[in-house]
Structure 1
């Protein structure tokens, strides 16, 4: 009994000593103090999201953001540069104005899609038509002459503009079930009709353009109140627009009831030809092992329906703030701390893939990479990424992080490597220990991911501040770690889809001339 009590006392003493050491680590305490008492997150977010705005690859705003970041780092005494890795189709958004002019007058809510051709200066006025229900592609070909001079509606009219959670809260079970069944049948019929036409959402706009359509009108509802996904156009000479669900549904019903609605559209934009594309790289040089790297990672580009606030403005803010804090609290790191603000992640991880391909010596020297991408929420999940020994070092690095932050985080080891999704996958494919700091949802997928509502007001700064503290402490601990991290790969599990053992992903080359024919 005495022996058990002695052992318990020893364990409690060891734990108390560890907690005391944690509390007394001056760098950790300086990181927490700076983050909480001198946060720059709100100011950075305002400058980036409100001032510069969305950061579509190939636009002047993307280049402006790169230059802004370099200047910010310079102001903090951190060396930074813009590193060109390719070219992209250059384009600049102008004014979009969409009005129904018949059978009555109403201004509509919508915008042109990225890389959409412009209308003539005075705009276009044309009647709307909807796609026919056809038995096969020949019937569709026979119908095609009907689109000449018309605006073609290419999206299914949604049966409801209320998200499912709203139905679930207020509808009767019978009513909710009937709506879902009718929507499922309608969606199935729509998809079958697309197959009968011999097209998909990518190929159809070009065919309609060749047949003489005046423009393409779509509506990509994101299953939330007032929210649509905004991506890119597939036309070369005629405008492509996205209308919010409410206006799109009204127009669709007017067409179907034979009232021949007409729109007047002004969609201004500029084709800028080939534009250089960049990654912004900043670093605090290591004092003992400068050729080993702790990398902070976030993509800089966005789609441009909103201002790219949670995808990935918040990840960008986390990494910039962490670097600012580290420069102040830990100015002479053991290893080089490098941050990568990657370009053209949205089109296939192109910036990070280019960096991995162009800098094998840095990839070989990676101690750890921490990536944050999926929204404004506090980090709630970290996976070992398929690295067998990740628990040994990540567990130690998480220990000094305040408990109010780590209590929210679930870890899984060894995990599996990513095959896409965000930029850490580019490094994992090359065998570098790279980890995703995965965030709480905050209705990300429906309301802000690639939508017209991804704006500054959706940022939860308390969560972003915690993420900056977490990232800075992880970077500090990884830099100070006595050994270089193990890259031993775990034996991957059997795929549920194929029944075969998963293989480690291999590096892929980036697209270095995007959208350029």
Structure 2
């Protein structure tokens, strides 16, 4: 009896010893999560970071001195927080930088008023104030090449020396049923539930695919083809300024770029708010002449042909040659100061790293922060980085096998609600478990994706290469409706509490991967999804 009792006690002690490391690790992670929460809520540096990235260095167009200065400041600030190896990594943008330094626009006659406009990037200035009559081109709808050529020929003698409204005024209906600004918890759970067959297939700007009607009759020109021909027509025929209708409500303006990046190929061009464009259009329709005045000062920066990503690290310990990355794009469009797109993403990821450094963790793997440039021109900075450091699944470099995962955030100020993980289901399970303790902050899960298509944001540069990219999903707030790429994208649109919660959840997930015995599971050679037939088909002129 004594022998049996002794054996039983021995077996019990042995089982306790075997389970002790797992118990200790779980308890340690619970303690770390509590410290992450406390640091993130009580000592957040998100809003001071936002002030500098937006008020001081915004806007941050790729190739501009503003963007480089913002990157240098971010590296300096992360060094002050204790991160190491901060540096700029150059890549070849291939185009000069551009900035709009001044823009004034007025209607002079038959009334006097100021007009709200934004310059199109990589277009020339006016070389002083220009005053001229307005002329409106009413372009044919979905024209063939012959129809467009005939129309342009018919107005050829009417554009010289004029300020030209390029197109009819767009009627923007009053929206009586706006989209919700937050997901309710049941929606978020369904969206990130791996057992939901429709998880991830929710309506939204990134996921909608427009159905193209089959063309009947002669081929119709695309909007891009029409735009290119109108630019050349106005330049060749001596127009002074081109005005495009912003075609959005409540004074929103989205100003992107001259696709050629060559100011010599276009005339000075602005995007005018829909309300002002409509006013001028209606006065002209009365048969009343309209006189306008513009003064536009734009400047090129040849040194902008070299762009930079900003990098900083928390060095690892026993697995320091392995990496967990987190990042966001630092570049923005130029109509505002780029707060929700995407200074807040950079501030959240910098904050996640700051929290981990502040609480004194010693990660096994190196934690690397990356702030990208060139995202808005097509994910160019992150693509260059992935190519340089990791290669691809088909042509890997040594570091390809050392990356555990890359976390990305790029959907505005809303709190994180879940994650989309490029990898097998077990990869999403790891992330789901790491995020589970933060359900009270609104984080509802993680789902796996097999999509290697390029587009959306910088995590897809990793996905395309066959690496584990993790895109964080968020509450929409005003992102898709008001601030995304618009002149309203300013510091005032940030919800600090949401950003704090996002940084806390991401810091915990990054720490979990940095401490795990194994890298995040990824697709095997046999299970790697193929590249889409048209890689980059989802890529657009403006990124997230």
SS of the aligned residue for 2:227 comes to coil
Instruction: Determine the structure 1 residue equivalent to 2:522.
Output: 487
Separation in structure 2 between the aligned mates of residue 480 and residue 288 of structure 1, nearest angstrom: 10
Match of 1:503 among 526, 530, 535: 530
CA contact (8 A) 1:126 1:262 kept: yes
Give the conservation status (yes or no) of the 8 Å contact 1:163–1:225. no
Partner of 1:355: 385
Residue 253 of structure 1 and its aligned partner are, at CA, apart by: 1.1
Q: Which runs of 5+ in 2 are unaligned?
A: 1-18, 180-217, 391-397
Are 1:372 and 2:383 an aligned pair?
no
Q: Distance in 2 between matches of 1:91 and 1:471?
A: 34
Q: What do the CA deviations read for 1:180-221 (whole angstroms, capped 9, x no partner)?
A: xxxxxxxxxxxx998499942344223322221111101223
Please give the secondary structure, in 1, of the residue aligned with 2:326. Answer: strand
Consecutive unaligned residues in structure 1, runs of 5 or more? 1-13, 168-191, 494-501
Q: Which residue of 2 aligns with 1:217?
A: 243
Corresponding residue SS for 1:165: coil
Give secondary structure in 2 for the equivalent of 1:402.
Answer: helix
1:313 shift after superposition: 1.0
Q: Which residue is 2:44 aligned to? A: 39
Of 285, 304, 308, 1:278 maps to: 308
Matched residues in 1 for 2:510 and 2:318: separation? 15
Aligned to 2:198: none
- The answer to whether the 8 A contact 2:453-2:535 is kept is no
Structure 1 residues 432-441 or 231-240, which shifts more?
231-240
Retained in 1: the 8 A contact 2:452–2:530? no
**Residue by residue, what CA displacement relative to the aligned partner does 1:83-126 show, whole Å, maximum 9, x if unpaired?**
111143222221110000111211111121222211112x1111
With over 3 angstroms needed to count, the CA separation of the structure-2 counterparts of 1:300 and 1:373, relative to structure 1, is same
Deviation at 1:158, TM superposition (A): 2.2
Query: Root-mean-square deviation (CA), in Å?
Result: 3.0
User: Quick check: 1:155–1:220 contact (8 Å CA) kept in 2?
Assistant: no
What's 1:304 paired with? 334
- Equivalent residue for 1:228, pick from 242, 253, 278: 253
Aligned CA distance change for structure 1 residues 358 and 325 (closer, same or farther; 3 Å): same
1:20 deviates by 12
Q: Quick one: structure 1 residues 149 and 196, their matched pair in 2 at CA, closer, same or farther if it must change by over 3 Å?
A: farther
Relative to structure 1, the CA distance from residue 26 to residue 388 in structure 2 (aligned partners, 3 Å threshold; closer, same or farther) is closer
Q: Mapping of 1:315-330 within 5 angstroms?
A: 315-330=345-360
Quote the offset at 1:314 in angstroms. Answer: 1.1
Equivalences for 1:78-477 in 2 at 5 Å?
A: 78-79=83-84, 80-87=86-93, 88-121=95-128, 123-134=129-140, 136-143=147-154, 144-160=156-172, 162-165=174-177, 195=221, 199-222=225-248, 224-233=249-258, 236=264, 238-275=267-304, 276-360=306-390, 361-399=398-436, 401-405=437-441, 407-414=442-449, 416-477=451-512
Map residues 53-68 of structure 1 onto 2, 5 A cutoff: 53-68=58-73
Secondary structure (helix, strand or coil) at the match of 1:212 reads: coil
Question: Aligned in 2, Cα 1:491/1:466: closer, same or farther, shift over 3 Å?
Answer: farther
Q: Distance in 1 between matches of 2:384 and 2:349?
A: 20
Report if aligned partners of 2:234, 2:267 keep a CA contact under 8 Å in 1. Answer: no
CA distance in 1, matches of 2:92, 2:161: 38
Q: Distance in 1 between matches of 2:255 and 2:356?
A: 36
SS of residue paired to 1:29: helix
**Partner deviation per Cα, 1:12-38 (whole Å, 9 max, x = no partner):** xx9xx9899558733222211110110
Does the CA contact (< 8 Å) of 2:423 and 2:521 recur in 1?
Answer: no
Structure 1 residue 293 displacement after superposition? 0.6
**Displacement after TM superposition at 1:431 (Å):** 1.4
Q: Deviations over 1:227-262 (max 9, x none)?
A: 121211355352101111111100111122221211
- Following superposition, the deviation at residue 43 of structure 1 comes to 1.0
Q: C-alpha distance in 2, partners of 1:415/1:472?
A: 25
What CA distance in whole angstroms lies between the structure 2 residues aligned with 1:305 and 1:148? 29
Could you tell which deviates more after superposition, 260-269 or 145-154? Answer: 145-154
**1:28-86, CA deviations, whole angstroms, 9 ceiling, x for partnerless residues?**
22211110110111111111111211100111111110111111011112121011111
Tell me the CA shift for residue 491 of structure 1: 9.3
Shift of 1:479: 0.5
Post-superposition shift, 1:378? Answer: 0.9
Structure 2: distance between partners of 1:60 and 1:481: 40
